[in-house]
């Protein structure tokens, strides 16, 4: 079933919308949540919470890309759960990748009124990068993949992946500073 049909089911408040969305994107959502949380039970709970959240948001919201919309919700819920787990001294692997990139992004309380503008700036930056470096960056910071998995996936050495990430973060920081996101 295509995304527009699923969204129409949501608009009609038909519970089959969740069933169809789960069939189409359930594995992807679980993959994202598990990479962030490392615990299947927590990941499954986050995915189910995301389904509930989508049910409550459509309508009135009308996402242009259901896959991206759902993945963003899953990712945000999983990151909140990670922060909760970390506060209880239960640390996981995603903490490392979040901390790697957090130093260059402004904190929410630093006057950035609209996170969408920052997201747009990061997207514009990534479109200027080589395909492989862009994909490595996205696998690490969007999907939360460990460096070893990224290296195996693209047939690269772990050191090469780490170098790509380091250099791309450095370029992103310079790009964001030019865009007016200098928060140091």
CATH number of the structural domain spanning residue 54: 1.10.1740.10
The domain boundary residue, chosen from 64, 90, 116: 90
Does 141 reside within a domain? yes
The pLDDT, as a whole number, for residue 109 is 46
Tokens of 183: 């928060």
Nearest CA to 46 among 7, 9, 85?
Answer: 85
pTM, rounded to two decimals = 0.61
Res 100 pLDDT > 60: yes
Candidate ranges 23-37, 95-109, 140-154; pick with highest mean pLDDT: 23-37
The mean pLDDT of 79-94, rounded to a whole number, is: 69
The pLDDT, as a whole number, for residue 71 is 92
What average pLDDT is seen over the chain?
85
One domain for residues 78 and 109: no
The pLDDT, as a whole number, for residue 107 is 54
Res 90 pLDDT > 50: no
The domain boundary residue, chosen from 31, 55, 90: 90
The pLDDT confidence band at residue 92, using thresholds 50, 70 and 90, is very low
Does 183 reside within a domain? no
One domain for residues 61 and 114: no
What angle separates helix 115-127 from helix 158-178, to the nearest 10 degrees? Answer: 120
Residue range of the domain that includes 153: 95-178
Tokens of 119: 């997201």
The pLDDT confidence band at residue 160, using thresholds 50, 70 and 90, is very high
Half-sphere exposure for 52 (CA within 13 Å, toward CB): 7
The pLDDT, as a whole number, for residue 97 is 60
The mean pLDDT of 53-69, rounded to a whole number, is: 92
Q: Give the ranges where the chain is alpha helix by DSSP (H).
A: 3-11, 16-37, 40-57, 66-87, 94-102, 115-127, 131-141, 147-154, 158-178
One domain for residues 102 and 174: yes
The domain boundary residue, chosen from 36, 61, 90: 90
Does 25 reside within a domain? yes
If one counts every other C-beta atom within 10 angstroms of the C-beta of residue 131, the result is 7
User: Of the given ranges (29-43, 105-119, 165-179), which has the lowest mean pLDDT?
Assistant: 105-119
Q: In the block, which residue shows the tokens 């990151």?
A: 79
The pLDDT, as a whole number, for residue 112 is 44
Higher pLDDT, 182 or 172: 172
Does 184 reside within a domain? no
One domain for residues 78 and 100: no
């Amino acid at each position: 079933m295509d995304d527009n049909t699923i969204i129409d089911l949501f608009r009609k408040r038909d519970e089959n919308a969740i069933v169809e969305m789960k069939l189409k994107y359930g594995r992807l959502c679980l993959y994202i949540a598990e990479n962030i949380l490392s615990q299947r039970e927590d990941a499954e709970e986050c995915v189910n919470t995301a389904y509930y959240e989508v049910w409550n948001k459509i309508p009135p919201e009308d996402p242009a890309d259901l896959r991206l919309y759902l993945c963003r919700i899953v990712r945000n819920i999983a990151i909140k759960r990670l922060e909760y787990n970390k506060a209880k001294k239960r640390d996981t692997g995603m903490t490392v990748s979040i901390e790697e990139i957090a130093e260059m992004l402004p904190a929410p309380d630093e006057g950035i009124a609209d996170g969408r503008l920052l997201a747009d700036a990061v997207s514009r930056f990534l479109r200027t990068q080589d395909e492989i470096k862009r994909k490595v960056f996205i696998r690490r910071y969007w999907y939360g993949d460990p460096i070893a998995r990224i290296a195996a996936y693209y047939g690269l050495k772990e050191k090469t992946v780490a170098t790509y990430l380091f250099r791309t973060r450095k370029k992103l920081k310079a790009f964001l500073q030019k865009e007016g996101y200098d928060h140091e």
